[in-house]
Amino acid sequence: MGRRQNVTLHEETIALIKEYQEQHHIRYPGEALDRMIEEWEKQKSKDHSQEYLMSLMAQRFKDVFSEEMKRLRLAANRSDKNTQVLLELMNGFAMDQNLENCVTTPIFESPAMKDAREAVEERISHQRQKRISATETQPASS
């Protein structure tokens, strides 16, 4: 049962209540206010449910991909370290040999460079196949 309450409202608020009454075929302003508040509470509850669902999804995404991201980060760090070591070695070699010019691989690729490139490509392909095989043999997680 409703309770009588005297309130002061802005003209805009009164207009909105009247508009709601007309749209929903409601006779009394108090009933319109009750329904408006009920809808607002439902929406608020729905918003909280959506926020909770989004947080669960974000956590699941993090759980699934965090290990893979860690592996990628470590691989990138190893590659960067190896590249820096090679640059230092090549610089030392160039200094030792008093090299002033460099013939780049687009101009001429030596047989040694070709062998090294093929060995690296084969190693990468082999690692990829191992990773694919390991993924295929793992039981599906839920």
Give per-residue pLDDT as tens, 102-125: 888 888 888 988 998 899 899 889
What are 54-88's pLDDT values in tens digits? 999 999 888 888 888 888 999 898 898 989 999 89
> Residue 39 in contact with residue 31, Cβ under 8 Å?
no
Buried b (16+ CB within 10 A) or exposed e, 126-137: eeeeeeeeeeee
Q: Is the pTM of this model over 0.85?
A: no
Backbone torsion region of residue 101, taken as left when φ is above 0, otherwise alpha when ψ lies between -120 and 50, otherwise beta:
beta
Q: Is the pLDDT of residue 139 over 80?
A: no
Closest CA to 4 of 24, 29, 21, 27: 29
Report whether pLDDT(94) > 60: yes
